[in-house]
Structure 1
Amino acid sequence: MEEKKTLRKDVLCQCDLLTEEDVISFSNSIAEKLFSLPEYQAAKTIMYYANFNKEVVTLDMIPKTLAEGKRVIVPKTVHKERRMILSEVFDVEDDLTPGLWNIPEPKPDKLRPVDVKEIDFVVVPGVAFDEQGNRLGYGGGYYDRFFQDLRPDVPLVAVTYELQMVEQIPVSPWDRTVDLIITEKRVIDCRKGQN
């Protein structure tokens, strides 16, 4: 879809303009909001994406989650099969290494597969979002396939910069909306349509 490609390119170009200071400052603000969500506090098993480039820094959130006694899951991409292996992480430094597209993922000898049904809360990546909870991903379809296997009660929580919020995302029939969006400025509850 040409519209999606153009939007993806435009938003990623804007993200590239963020300074390292912006990324750290915005990510800290987002993390604070994430940790205070009742849905996060109630969850026992949290799945994070591992950040790369100028994405919201999730790797800094994992140690706090582990310290709270929660389980942390990070995906490993199986490119040929267009799917993800969900793996439990005990230590960011020790368990992860740059993988496909330089995205950190579990090392082969640290792979601890977890059933998708064990996940209680998902921190979702994306290039752009709208206030209705529509998401524009990177185009690989990995998360679209993964969402289908999740329990229906699992909250999908997008962490993103305010500059990645757009008026409207072009939607495909298989796209699933996220439940909550956290930016450095606000928490958007897409289930109620309220900010």
Structure 2
Amino acid sequence: MKKHLRNQLLEKRDSLTESQILEKSSEVFRQLKDCPIYIKSQQVMLYLSFRSEVRTEDIIKDLFQQGKRVFIPLTLPKTRELIISELLDVEKDLEIGNFGVLEPKKEAIRPVDPSILDLIIVPGVGFDQRGYRVGYGGGYYDRFLPKLDPSVPTVAPAFEVQLIDNVPTDSYDFPVQYIVTEDQFIDCKMYR
């Protein structure tokens, strides 16, 4: 069921043109930048966008310009865990890693305890208003997010085409607190 839904959602997202992705990503970022949880944050973990995901390059640039610390996930396929590594230089620190996603090079892995994070920007294929997500099927974030202090805000950037009425959930599925699209900022806690 989820696999079929994931494929449908990916098809929808992949149908966006490159210029639509850039334009909509820019709107998502504009919405995020005005949000108090983003403004107050100092130590932000976010994904490095690939394929048709909401682009995160502008967010990363903005965080660096504001002197905030930037952290990225490193996947461990054997245990399906995420290691959190500090990103210091986009040009020098990264290489193509697991699943074709940019990850830190071996010499640029700077692991940190996730408890220092004060904002987590979460990727996903699709979302409902409650904050439940259809991920890529590895369960990495569903394992990682429950380990964090619940006071740490989790926000998912998404395009409107990624929103659906209801994500089928299992007991291990872990929702995000907020979703930001090119058109709206959703407080998911209001819908649970």
Report TM bin, short chain.
over 0.9
Residue number in structure 2 paired with 1:84: 82
The superposition leaves residues 74-121 of structure 1 with CA deviations (integer Å, 9 ceiling, x where unpaired) of 011111121111000112122111111110111111111110100110
Residue number in structure 2 paired with 1:111: 109
Aligned with 2:189 (options 180, 185, 191): 191
What runs of 5+ residues in structure 1 fail to find an aligned partner? none
The superposition leaves residues 48-83 of structure 1 with CA deviations (integer Å, 9 ceiling, x where unpaired) of 011111100113310110111111000111111211
TM-score by length of 1: 0.95
**Which amino acid in the other structure matches residue 79 of structure 1?**
P
Contact in 1 for aligned 2:10/2:125 (Cα 8 Å): yes
- Structure 2 residue 113 is the aligned partner of structure 1 residue 122: no
Residue number in structure 1 paired with 2:172: 174
TM-score by length of 2: 0.97
| RCO higher in structure (CA 8 A, sep ≥6) | 2
Contact in 2 for aligned 1:63/1:92 (Cα 8 Å): no
Contact in 1 for aligned 2:130/2:190 (Cα 8 Å): no
What runs of 5+ residues in structure 2 fail to find an aligned partner? none
Distance across 2 between alignment mates of 1:100 and 1:134: 24
Residue number in structure 2 paired with 1:6: 4
Query: Once the 2 structures are TM-superposed, how far is the Cα of residue 151 of structure 1 from its aligned partner?
Result: 1.3
Contact in 2 for aligned 1:181/1:189 (Cα 8 Å): yes
Instruction: Let me know the Cα RMSD of the aligned residues.
Output: 1.2
Percent of aligned positions with the same letter in both sequences? 42
Aligned with 1:54 (options 52, 55, 72): 52
**Which amino acid in the other structure matches residue 133 of structure 1?**
G
Contact in 1 for aligned 2:95/2:104 (Cα 8 Å): yes
Query: Once the 2 structures are TM-superposed, how far is the Cα of residue 138 of structure 1 from its aligned partner?
Result: 0.7
| Superposition misfits of 4+ residues, deviation over 6 angstroms | none
